[in-house]
A and B are shown apart, each in its own frame.
Chain A
Amino acid sequence: MAVAGLRLDRRVREVGGFALFVLRRVVALVLTVMVGVYLTIVVANMGGQVDELRLIQIRADVSEAVRGDPGIVPAERAELIERQVALEVERLNLDQPFIWRSLDYLRRAMLLDLGRAEQMNSDLGSRQVAAIITERLPATLLLFGTANLLVFAVSIFAALGLSRRYGSGMDRTVVALAPTSAAPGWFYGIFLILVFAFVVPIFPPGGMVTVPPPENPIVYALSVLHHMILPVLAIFVSSIFVSIYSWRTFFLIHSSEDFVEMARAKGLPDRMIENRYILRPTLPPIVTSFLLMLIGLWSGAIILEQVFNWPGLGTLLFQAIGFRDTPVIIGGVVIFAYLLAVTVFLLDFLYALLDPRVRVGPDGGRR
């Protein structure tokens, strides 16, 4: 009885410790996202300086509109301008000090209330930042998702194959080619456009579909596919070799572990060694890099999309920055921060569930 009680007690303590660990991580991540988003808000508003530009812009726009209206008596103009400026200032909350407004932005951003854009609108005419972003998201996901999945799958399988026969001609070639990944995707994109869109014009130099977009959905999909080939190829070429190289090194280090040597000594078949003794223990880092890759895929999108004229989130963000449309900029960054934070949290949670060493610090005490 006493023993069982003790065991239950330990169980409770363990669960409690785990809950505490999860709670701590959640609090830390929320704080992290908050600080990151707040920094973005401050930078995107130039620490409040954008407001002065906005005030000047509003005054200019209103005066022009009022002066252009012949139905207004000149005597009333000044008063009308003042009234309209005041209304506009109130609409944009510009009468409050920046510090309060920035905190208000932060509160709404954290609650995922992205608000309304100031200058931009979605292709359907909506001013909602959420609508603008969701309209562009599929294009980015399609392009970068396809390319990165391709890179990921090909490099894992190629790396496994290479680690099995390292030192071979294939292996040496990949090692020799790894430095080509020093150049980013857009750089290869320029070359690919030069060769395959102009010298040998078999692919379009940019865009997502032909103009005007085809009515037939199958033709539409084929057209998108045709436009996708060059950008996907650019991403693929720029990261495939270094990706194979690093996974190969990773697998090689793992395949010299004692338990793998043991399995080999037992005479187990290669495939079994690969699946059970190499892939299974290395699965957590593989999953981690896969998830981080899925999230991080659009942070480099801004320039590749610009080079290929791809109507995705990167292009949207670039336009938003050009328009100084802070709600859209902040919306983009908030989404990114949230996605990353949620991924990190999920990974932490999974690891903590699977591996007790994570919950316990290196010195043996609880973190």
Chain B
Amino acid sequence: MNPRSTFARIRRYPSAVAGFAIILLLVGVAVYTVVTIPYSQALADWRGGDQWRMNPVNASPVWTNRLFGGNAPPTLTVSSDGAEVESAAFDGGRQVRIPLALDFPHDDFPSELTLLLSVLGTDRPAFVEATWHRPDGTDIRLGAHRIAGDDRIAISQNRALEGRLGQVPHIGLFADDGGRVLQGTHRLTLEAVLFDPNAELRAELVAFGRVHGLAGTDHLRRDLMLALLWGTPVALSFGLLAAVGTTVTTLVIAAAGVWFGGLIDATIQRLTEVTMILPVLPVLVMVGTLYSTSIWLMLGVVIALGIFSASIKMYRAMLLPIRNAPYIEAARAYGASDARIVLRYMIPRILPVLIPAFVTLIPTYVFLEASLAVLGLGDPVLPTWGKILNDAQAQGALYNGFYYWVVAPAVLLMLTGLGFALFGFALDRIFNPRLRSA
């Protein structure tokens, strides 16, 4: 089959073009990801930790605001760097007053309120007292703290304050009498006594938002974008490697069995029957639980179970008539070796028929990887789509209304499946003329 005419025919199928476009898009995302976020950095970031501390917990993507017409707050920070700090020196120290103004025009409460303080230039702890001034004129004392070095005051976890407000502070401080959000400028005044004339106090008020980035965040404040991006090369390479590993080896084994016949063929047939009676997913779950959930081991087992799969029987049926074809006889007559006949004459003959099946096989393995991850047997370090789904399920994402957590990876999985399937089905109609008339 002439490659050029094949290409021209593929172009005539809109579904093939659409599928191919989706595949190209995914490959583009995968390449972009691997180039911009190095593998080691992705793993380190996904393990979680301090680099995520400025992210909100379980925040929706920013676009949900636009989609549902809401005006949920992003994470807002007010720093003392731009504030008008009043300072008065006294003997042996300084008294400072830092006003922090937080503009809050949103119609949903922040998800968390934290005050980051650091005392610079001295070892002696400072004494800080905080007061919250609301737009409606009421003042609420937040309490006093002794601060040494860097400190993080979680206002949201202030139990005494919660008791006074009757609600968690990040809601209580922002709510009016009717329970609605009090919009306008909220002010936090810090009155501090520093016991060193050269000491300095820096403050940062963080009102964690309800929306973050294009993908939102999970329960560990991690940006889901990282896993969505890195899931792409992982899914594509797993699908591709597994599909190549199973089809190519299966094809070579089937062809060898047909060519040599006899004992070799019989052995291959019996091995195929053995693998046919083994349930694949339970075996994978067993391997994952008992040995290791490394994605490479899983890939190996998938390929091992896939080599002697039922498709050997199908290939055999296709290859049997070829075995006695005149051109094979001609090859034998001029003294071609067994390997040459199998690899160069028999396999290429049925390859066109198998390409569509190969393309549609890729998403099967992509979903298999996701299935394992959803069962909690995903690779322990790699960020993948299936692991996002697993986290979401473990944290009751649907129950708590964090729909974005499930929808984003699911849509990507669907897109992958659809892209390869559209392309594969169209190829099937092109390469197998018997179906084309239909």
Which residues in A have some Cβ–Cβ distance to B below 8 Å?
A: 28-29, 31-33, 35-36, 39-40, 43-44, 46, 50, 166-167, 175-176, 178-184, 186-187, 190-191, 193-194, 197-199, 205, 248-249, 252-253, 298-300, 302-303, 306-307, 317-318, 321-322, 324, 329, 332-333, 336-337, 340-341, 344, 362
Contact = CB atoms under 8 A, between A and B. Distances in A.
B153 interface: no
A336 B15 contact: no
Contacts of B283: 40, 43
A231 to B, nearest CB: 15
B208 interface: no
A44 B286 contact: yes
B363 A182 contact: yes
B276 A340 contact: yes
Contacts of B276: 340
If over half of B's interface residues share one DSSP class (helix, strand or loop), that class is named, otherwise mixed; here it is: helix
A333 B406 CA distance: 32
B285 A321 contact: yes
Given A198-B399, A252-B438, A303-B374, A43 B422 contact: no
B270 interface: yes
Nearest to B414: A183
B277 to A, nearest CB: 4
Contacts of B438: 166-167, 248-249, 252
A161 to B, nearest CB: 14
A32 B398 contact: no
Given A32-B270, A300-B281, A321-B285, A194 B407 contact: yes
Contacts of B424: 179
B67 interface: no
Interface string B399-420: 1010100110010011001101
B274 A35 contact: yes
Nearest to A46: B290
Nearest to A162: B438
Contact of A329 (B286, B360, B414): B286
Contact of A43 (B286, B371, B417): B286
Contacts of B12: none
A324 B291 CA distance: 11
A332 B15 CA distance: 42
A44 B290 contact: yes
B273 interface: yes
A227 B428 CA distance: 38
B223 to A, nearest CB: 22
A187 B414 contact: yes
B278 A337 contact: yes
A182 B413 CA distance: 10
Given A40-B283, A43-B290, 7 more contacts: A36-B275, A40-B286, A179-B422, A182-B420, A197-B398, A252-B438, A337-B278
Contacts of B285: 302, 317-318, 321
B282 interface: yes
Contacts of B370: 187
What 8 A-B pairs come out closest when comparing CB atoms?
A179-B421, A182-B417, A182-B421, A299-B279, A182-B363, A337-B277, A32-B273, A252-B438
Contacts of B279: 298-299, 333, 336
B413 A183 contact: yes
A31 B56 CA distance: 59
Contact of B410 (A29, A31, A191, A300): A191
Contacts of A322: 289
B365 to A, nearest CB: 11
B270 A179 contact: no
A307 B285 CA distance: 15
A249 B435 contact: yes
A332 B389 contact: no
Contacts of B425: 175, 178-179
Given A50-B290, A253-B434, A302-B282, A33 B277 contact: yes
If over half of A's interface residues share one DSSP class (helix, strand or loop), that class is named, otherwise mixed; here it is: helix
* Max chain B Cβ within 10 angstroms of own Cβ: one of A183, A191, A303, A307: A183
Interface of B: 15, 19, 270, 273-283, 285-287, 289-291, 320, 360, 363-364, 367, 370-371, 374-375, 389, 393, 398-399, 401, 403, 406-407, 410, 413-414, 417-418, 420-422, 424-425, 434-435, 438
Contacts of B281: 299-300, 302-303
B282 A299 contact: yes
13 contacts: A175-B425, A180-B418, A182-B364, A182-B421, A187-B367, A193-B398, A194-B406, A197-B398, A298-B279, A302-B282, A303-B375, A321-B282, A344-B273
A194 B286 contact: no
Nearest to A363: B324
A249 B428 CA distance: 12
Contacts of A181: 421
Contacts of A307: 374, 393
Contacts of A190: 389, 406, 410
Contact of B374 (A186, A337, A362): A186
A220 to B, nearest CB: 25
Nearest to A317: B282
Contacts of B278: 36, 39-40, 333, 337
A324 B287 CA distance: 11
* Max chain B Cβ within 10 angstroms of own Cβ: one of A44, A179, A184, A187: A179
Contacts of B401: 198
A29 B285 CA distance: 26
A176 B418 CA distance: 11
Nearest to B285: A321
Given A32-B273, A179-B418, A193-B398, A184 B367 contact: yes
B270 A182 contact: no
A39 B273 CA distance: 13
B420 A332 contact: no
B374 A341 contact: no
* Max chain A Cβ within 10 angstroms of own Cβ: one of B287, B289, B291, B422: B289
A253 B291 CA distance: 47
Contacts of B374: 186, 303, 306-307
A312 to B, nearest CB: 13
A191 B403 CA distance: 10
A179 B291 CA distance: 35
A310 to B, nearest CB: 14
Contacts of B273: 28-29, 32, 344
Contacts of A306: 374-375
Contact of B291 (A35, A46, A252, A336): A46
A187 B364 CA distance: 12
Nearest to B363: A182
Contacts of A299: 279-282
A116 to B, nearest CB: 20
Nearest to B421: A179
Contacts of B291: 46
B417 A183 contact: yes
Contacts of B320: 362
Nearest to B289: A321
